Structure 1
Amino acid sequence: MAAAPRPRLRLSRTTVAILLVCGAVAGGGRWYVSRAESAQVASAREAKSGSPFKVFATIQELMDSTVDPAADGVWDSVAVISTEAGVEKREPRTPEEWQEVRRHALTLLEAMNLVVMEGRHAAPPGAQPKLGELDPKQIDVLIRANKPSFAAFADDVRATTLEALAAIDKRDVKALVVAGGKIDQACEGCHVTFWYPESAAPR
């Protein structure tokens, strides 16, 4: 004997809409809970590591965006340029020009703290080494194996940049040129040691 057909439940459009809204709210609640749980996990990890700092950029990206422009701002502030019109001697003269050079020096000084932060890789994934450079993964290994040496190079850049700051505050162009040369030597020493140790002709 065939079973009697079950009566169908007919819902009004209003009822269906209410059910959909309730479902969405419930789902949203789960989403908010998930986000809250993620925040708690991140907070716990941060507390475990003992550091509130997070590393995003690689050393290469930090160099391109911060270190190189700041160093160039110090080096290029004093120059002798030969053109068809003659020889131009460039140096900061006005308070505004000296202040601009000082900004570059301060940026370079603080950037060294960023360069040596734990967990910062040499270059983004897939980055290709320049001519004469080690592969980024090799650079990472070299830095991890020689952290004190890497930090010492950063200290050298800081020390020479402080000399540049002192020259800037005294508005001493000659001393600024000398300090700029020392900054260049400190930077190049790090590059030769960690980026292209096997190159006979560093860039």
Structure 2
Amino acid sequence: MINSLAKLLVAVAMAGTLTACGRGEEIAACGEDESAADAPAEAASPIKLTAGIQDIMLDMIDPSADFLWESVSVTETAQGVEEKQPRTDEEWAEVRKHAIILAEAANLILMEGRHVAREGKVLGDHGTPGNLTAEEAEKAIAADRATYEGFGQALHDVGVAFLEAAEERNPKAIMDAGETMDQVCEGCHLKFWYPGQKIPAFPDQAPEAH
């Protein structure tokens, strides 16, 4: 009697499992289906890319880079040496602001899926001899993405160096970061923007005419 009751309970339990999973399906398969159902679905990215790399360069990176370059300088004049540097809280706050813009804009140009130019747009210097078109620049970046990302990361690090210099109010560190930024920007542009551009020689470097 007890054995019969036990068998009945087992049969009921199995029947309930089969009903929940669907008639005719294996119990193991049912377990797999439940696990798949419990797995979280991959969420769609909330990021919507609007600007092209050119837009970020023109409207974020270039203005901030120019401001940071010009924030500290030493100029010799007939009247003596002129030293320019931030001195007030407000002036140092401006340096800090542009440093943050530079660092984070460097991240923006590295985002996957961002095109060199917006759809239907051409680069501002399109047609300049030696310069790549937007399509050519995009192909160059895709062909050597690692180098492109290396330049972007280096630019971000320069932005961080400016930020630390601003927070420490260190004019010398601002100038040092400016020299590094010049090298990073020029290196990236020579590879991905205007690799064929001919830079005119200075008069004393021009070949002699025969």
| SS of equivalent residue, structure 1 residue 76 | helix
| Residue 154 of structure 1: aligned partner | 152
Q: Note if 1:77 corresponds to 2:97.
A: no
Specify every segment of 5 or more residues in structure 2 that has no aligned partner in the other structure, as ranges.
Answer: 1-40, 201-210
| SS of equivalent residue, structure 2 residue 71 | coil
Aligned residues: CA RMSD: 2.4
Contact 2:158 2:181 in 1 (8 A): yes
Measured in 2, the distance between the counterparts of 1:176 and 1:126 equals 35
| Residue 134 of structure 1: aligned partner | 132
Q: Note if 1:93 corresponds to 2:87.
A: yes
Segment of structure 1 superposing worse, 148-157 or 47-56: 47-56
Contact 1:98 1:168 in 2 (8 A): yes
| Residue 34 of structure 1: aligned partner | none
| Residue 48 of structure 2: aligned partner | 54
Q: Note if 1:193 corresponds to 2:173.
A: no
Shift in Å, 1:79: 2.3
| SS of equivalent residue, structure 1 residue 89 | strand
For residues 96-115 of structure 1, the aligned pairs below 5 Å read: 96-115=90-109
Contact 2:103 2:158 in 1 (8 A): no
Distance 1:52 1:100, change over 3 A: same
Report Cα offsets for 1:44-72 as digits up to 9, x if no partner.
xxx87842111111111111111111111
Contact 2:106 2:156 in 1 (8 A): yes
Shift in Å, 1:161: 1.9
| Residue 143 of structure 2: aligned partner | 145
Measured in 1, the distance between the counterparts of 2:127 and 2:49 equals 22
Distance 1:113 1:87, change over 3 A: same
| SS of equivalent residue, structure 2 residue 83 | strand
Shift in Å, 1:89: 2.5
TM-score by length of 1: 0.69
Measured in 2, the distance between the counterparts of 1:157 and 1:140 equals 19
Could you tell me which of 106, 113, 116 is aligned with 1:119? 113
Distance 1:71 1:119, change over 3 A: same
TM-score by length of 2: 0.67
Counting matched residue pairs gives 156
For the pair shown, which has the larger CA radius of gyration, 1 or 2? Answer: 2
| Residue 163 of structure 1: aligned partner | 161
Shift in Å, 1:84: 8.8
Shift in Å, 1:132: 2.5
Contact 1:61 1:123 in 2 (8 A): yes
Measured in 2, the distance between the counterparts of 1:129 and 1:98 equals 40
